[in-house]
Structure 1
């Protein structure tokens, strides 16, 4: 595990505060489990503990001189405040120009990623919606929630032609297989299920455990990992499940690697903390976010686990794969990019200690969902990866 056991934290509105050459912004170094070290940058009141290395239109590079820790802070280019008025708990975007998000008011909204203008609201779930995502086409929405249902929507019309029922508790997360003829869902009922969307049918239960399954992510390891062959002929309703590997995270701290076509567990790990989110940073390397702030890497080729980073004790609320690494949103409002060597050179700013509940990106931009009810948009090129 590389990197420092500490993070730099800057005043959330530094981009506006430092417009005036005489103004200052506070900054601190927060070591894991120790007292924070405060300072100021900008203006005549700046101290010599923190040094500004460079600044562009939307970025600020700062070094903590005693430790050598350097972070590039990135400010949003847009802040959408008219999509939701309450905490935004999930979002997804696609290259087609649409975003989908849901808030604690149970408002499931389709909006334009360029302007933040709401196209329509999708109404039909009886209880809270916990997860939403766009199919690869960018014009079809998948959602799931407390009513134990999965719904598939036409983002253009708002119609909901498909409702999938079979879970016995709330649906917490989903994954889309290839182009989307099949999908996977995980639930508080402790199951991961494989569905056929066109025939509105549950094909199989891929995993069943005795605690809630909080999260899942799917990858294609064809030609990279030899997955077990299925014991029986695959169902005719299955499409593109060969070579697919599902990463599943549970409330009791266990993580499973499941071959989708074979329904077999090829690896399992006990991590000792609640697993809050998972993602695939590469086709064979998964990243696990834990309730104690740890990041753990899972290598599907071995399979094995290794610590990736533990520079913060704040729970990991959200993760998204990004350019060979992972974007991580925390409960204390930090949103960091981590390389797979454990270093964290970039931080997306704007949240003032409000949890970042979800992160998504398209080809050009990154979007975050926050408890303050705002969706923030960042330029991908500002991360300079």
Structure 2
């Protein structure tokens, strides 16, 4: 359990040769052998650099043999388990992905609720909507005149909300690419967005330090929920049992704001909890080392709030506060994973976390519950990308889609002992 000011728990990081899935594919195609490197890191401990030998056995099944201080066990042909004796035999699963479709300069992304569609926003202001299974782009829209920092599907999956460097929020039809609503009110770029219930109201944050509540139908601001000196980099919204009393009259344009809490992560290192209905601050916390906060997530079901800093520290708290750190690369994305997926081998019933990093790293923790120590469950590797990584879970999981600014859109899937993870979009 974390204590204010105490050092974060240090996690293991496993990296693998970028083209390791190609090595396996060649071995399967030619019924031959191959080798790729595997490295393991833990801050404060010597790094471990080993090799994996690939052999094909039986009916096109891959067998992996670890060398130089690591033990490997194949899960599927394109996923495996790493055990590191040097680090108290800690085990980490590694999943790989191929890449089918390149989308340059991606700055934001989302996946529709049912998992069939994805949307990406790019630095050139282009919004692209496509199919997660095939990677086929169905809509390509010149949405903003500057980069798109945020794009979100509405719960229907038929409408997308985008926010850009041009200070604008826009609503887009998935069916015909039309833009029926444009919202203006921030004086600096939009940083993040959240959808309230079915989407009659939405919430936005901005580099101007504000968090605003909007009515979509009229495209107007209902009110500013908070104003901060530092820019707000990310927000997360869910329900809560409000402890804030308010005499504020209900605005007739508000729908579904009762019992809602929005988490706001600021560049100044403060995490704010804002009661939407009352428009009042419920709590605030300073980040570890007061580092800038770049990502946040909130699960009302598990009473967990999670934040990630520019120094790579992830903080988790409800009545407790927990910190861990895998590396020093900044945290660019945090999402909760399916409890069934993240706890499959961990014995934990809580949700895991899928964490994207500024160095293109992408990893998943075991299910988080009670006082149990946080551990890395899976590394998603085997691609050669550059830039911050963001992720979304497809449907109910365990498949996930990830993007990196300079590389493309990737899809990972497959459960432990299941079928081969599919290639990326």
**Distance between the aligned counterparts of 2:247 and 2:394, measured in 1?**
38
Counterpart residue number, 2:363 = 336
Alignment partner of 1:185 is 2:204 = yes
Which residue pairs with 1:369 in the alignment?
403
Secondary structure (helix, strand or coil) at the match of 2:376 reads: coil
Shift of 1:35: 5.5
Partner deviation per Cα, 1:279-329 (whole Å, 9 max, x = no partner): 124532011011111000132xx4xx6233112111111111211121101
Separation of aligned partners in 2, 1:170 and 1:191: 11
Change over 3 Å in CA distance of 1:46–1:357 after alignment to 2: closer
Partner of 1:26: 37
Match of 1:71 among 70, 92, 101: 92
- Count of equivalent residues: 374
- Against the structure 1 CA distance between its residues 373 and 191, is the aligned structure 2 distance closer, same or farther, given a 3 Å change threshold? same
C-alpha contact 1:213 1:248 (8 A) present in aligned 2: yes
Partner of 1:81: 101
Cα deviation for residue 383 of structure 1 reads 9.1
Q: Distance in 2 between matches of 1:307 and 1:122?
A: 42
Task: Choose which of 328, 339, 360 in structure 2 pairs with 1:313.
Answer: 328
User: Where do 1:63-212 residues align within 5 Å?
Assistant: 63-67=83-87, 68-76=89-97, 79-82=99-102, 84=103, 86-94=104-112, 95=114, 97-212=116-231
Aligned to 2:347: none
Q: 1:382 to 1:180 in 2, by over 3 A?
A: farther
Indicate the SS of the match to 1:16: helix
SS class of match (1:24): strand
More displaced stretch, 88-97 vs 179-188: 88-97
SS of the residue 2:81 aligns to = strand
2:24, 2:78 within 8 Å by CA — same for their partners in 1?
no
* Deviation for aligned residue 1:8: 1.7
2:305 is matched with 286
Q: Distance in 1 between matches of 2:66 and 2:95?
A: 20
1:345 corresponds to which of 377, 380, 398: 377
Q: Distance in 2 between matches of 1:220 and 1:32?
A: 37
Inter-partner Cα distance in structure 2 for 1:353 and 1:124: 25
Q: What is the match of residue 6 of structure 1?
A: 12
Deviations 1:231-270 (A, max 9, x none): 2121111111111111100001110001110111111011
Q: How far apart, in 2, do the equivalents of 1:380 and 1:268 lie?
A: 38
Q: Are residues 96 and 360 of structure 1, via their aligned partners in 2, closer, same or farther at CA, if it must alter by over 3 Å?
A: closer
TM-score of the superposed pair, with normalisation by structure 2 = 0.83
| Pairwise CA distance, 1:351 | 3.3
Task: Flag structure 2 segments of 5+ consecutive residues without an equivalent.
Answer: 2-7, 56-64, 339-350, 419-425
Cα separation, 2, equivalents of 1:43 and 1:158? 47
> Which ranges in structure 1 are unaligned for 5 or more consecutive residues?
none
RMSD in angstroms over aligned alpha carbons?
Answer: 2.1
Match of 2:80 in 1: 60
